[in-house]
Structure 1
């Protein structure tokens, strides 16, 4: 397979492989729910050449988390804010861990 082969994108979590209808079906929700997540700026679907919304697996993961929160009684707007903050926290923790791994070992003083 060459680098530009579409099959190489099957494992790409950011590849917009799902139509709105299929995404809604996978999540067990409605296209209106996905549009609401877009309006709340949680996910921004890519558009196909024909102008149709396309969603990635990563976006479906975020939408599934939003659905969990909404099903528990959280408003769509609040659910989206919570997920954005969770995502930011996860990224900050990842960066901190990476910086800790790269940091030199602390020197201990051995004054006699």
Structure 2
């Protein structure tokens, strides 16, 4: 978790708050360390940008969740169009 926080330029408590908010759920290593995927780190980075702009953490998590869902729906739509 410390390395991920350093990479994002944020604190470990910020990453914990995203876990508590349900935005990201990192896997655990056999030693109990949190392991984040690249996708989770991108989401955390986006939340951090919004929080830095004055958005509350809970609202930023909701915004990022909706953006992520929209992106996935657009990707699926493009795939379906390519099949036609």
TM-score band (shorter)?
over 0.9
Could you list the runs of 5+ residues in structure 2 that have no partner in the other structure? Answer: none
Q: CA RMSD in A?
A: 0.9
SS at match of 1:86: helix
TM-score, scaled to structure 2: 0.93
Structure number with larger C-alpha Rg = 1
Q: Is there any run of 5+ residues in structure 1 with no aligned partner, and where?
A: 1-19, 104-112
Find the counterpart in structure 2 of residue 33 from structure 1: 14
Cα shift at 1:26: 0.7
- CA shift for structure 1 position 52: 1.6
**Runs (4+) off by over 6 Å:** none
More helix by share: 2
* Equivalent residue number for residue 69 of structure 2: 88
Q: Give TM-score scaled by structure 1 length.
A: 0.71
